[in-house]
Structure 1
Amino acid sequence: MSYFKHHVFFCCNQRAAGESCCNDHQASALQTYAKERTAALGLKGKGSVRVNKAGCLGRCDDGPVIVVYPDNVWYTYVDKDDIDEIIDSHLVHDRIVERLRLPEDAQ
């Protein structure tokens, strides 16, 4: 069994001006929000959820992106509502949010 049930990585890469990157879409702020929200829901810690910042995950053109391990599910998102849906559906109820999931051929 994994140390964490779900390990969530937010791409928070910041590229030079004019280059597409996840942090141009509030990735760092939304990572902080997700971390605080999972803690408030009692999902933080061993056997549960860990939310981390990551450097470039190599998918900035699909971004902003997060990946949930060990499920290997990649998501894109727009705002807090999307992050809430990923937390409530995937992290709490183990249901993938298909409308935000990146297509298999893009992975």
Structure 2
Amino acid sequence: MGYYRHHLFFCTNQRPDGAERPSCAQCDSPRLRGYVKKRLKDLGLTGAGGIRANTAGCLDRCEEGPVLVVYPEGVWYTYVDEDDLDEIIESHLIGGKPVERLMLPEPV
């Protein structure tokens, strides 16, 4: 087992106005990553052997965003709000069952 049971990477990339592609930061991803980080800490799930929520630059799935990926499983999610993120925490991170309705399709 690795240092963390689960490692989450949240794309928080911000492109300038008028860019050809969207960016996850336009969907409030930095604030929502902060929400998850605090929620995990409040639940006592952080630290060695627990769960870590990190900021990432562009994960190159911009049109599907905002996106986050959960390792070691490599499950990619999109989300809209705190309710979606709470569902990922409860179902996937605590319960071990990925949230299919929020999962991104496998790339072709």
TM-score range, shorter-chain basis? over 0.9
Corresponding position of 1:6: 6
Q: CA RMSD in A?
A: 0.9
TM-score by length of 1: 0.96
What is the number of equivalent residue pairs in this alignment? 106
Amino acid at match of 1:82: D
Matching residue of 2:27: 25
> C-alpha separation between the residues in 1 aligned to 2:70 and 2:18?
28
Aligned residue among 59, 76, 79 for 1:77: 79
Displacement of 1:13 in angstroms is 0.1
AA aligned opposite 1:15:
R
TM-score normalised by length of structure 2:
0.95
Listed one character per residue, the Cα deviations across residues 27-47 of structure 1 (whole Å, up to 9, x for unaligned) are 000000000000000000111
**Residue 16 of structure 1 corresponds to which residue in structure 2?**
16
Structure 1 residue 104 displacement after superposition? 1.5
Please list, as runs of the form range in 1=range in 2, the aligned pairs for 1:92-107 lying within 5 A after superposition.
92-105=94-107
| Structure 1 outlier segments of 4+, above 3 Å | none
